[in-house]
Each structure stands twice: as C-alpha cells, then as structure tokens.
Amino acid sequence: MNEKDKIKISQKLNQEILDTKEKIKEYSELSKPISPENAIGRISRMDAINNKSVVEAALRESEKKLDDLKYVESQINEEYFGLCVKCKTSIPIGRILFRPQSKYCVNCAK
C-alpha cells in the first residue's frame, strides 16, 4: 500500500473516530435510567424501556467500533496493513475507506 492511500485511510480513520465518539456520547445520554417520578403511562414507560434497550445495544456496538478503529489506526504503519487477516490477500482501498475497521476482504467477511 502506498503512502498516498495510507494518508487517505488515516484521514478517514480520524473522522470515523470523531464521529463514533460523538455517537457514543449521544447514546450514553439517551441510555440514562428512566426516572420513576416522571408521570408517564404504563405503555409509554414500557416503550421508553424498550427504546432504552435499543439505544444500549447501539452504544455497545459503537464502543466496539471505536475499539476496532483505534486498533486499525495503531496498525496503519505495519507492513501487513491492508491485508485480510484470514486469507492474506490485499483488501481493496475502496473497502478500507468505506469500512475502515474491517480486517477482512469481502469474500472472507461473509
């Protein structure tokens, strides 16, 4: 992989990290406990609890994505960067830019 591609990937990684941190902050705020003193109906409370579960799942997924992005960022200067972890073939630059946390080529990701 050439330096020009690595610079593009590094910029994309930095942007994805910033965006993911922002999502984590937003999801953390939305997943705070629901106060029992809020006078909402039983159905509305059940709906709020369900929504909280969905937000918590999105929060966990975003935290995992952030960990993966940071790992990829730490590996960008390694000689094996851009190679599929499974089959060791080169991952196309388009895939890396589209999904920078991916460690697999399209065929192995299935």
Report yes or no on 37 lying in a domain.
yes
| Three-state secondary-structure class, residue 90 | strand
Regarding pTM above 0.85, the answer is no
Measured CA to CA, the distance from residue 106 to residue 89 in angstroms comes to 11
Report yes or no on 47 lying in a domain.
yes
What is the tally of structural domains in the chain? 1
- Left if phi > 0, otherwise alpha if psi is -120 to 50, otherwise beta: which for 82? left
Report yes or no on 70 lying in a domain.
yes
Question: Tens of pLDDT along 17-67?
Answer: 999 999 999 999 988 876 666 556 666 777 877 888 899 999 999 999 999
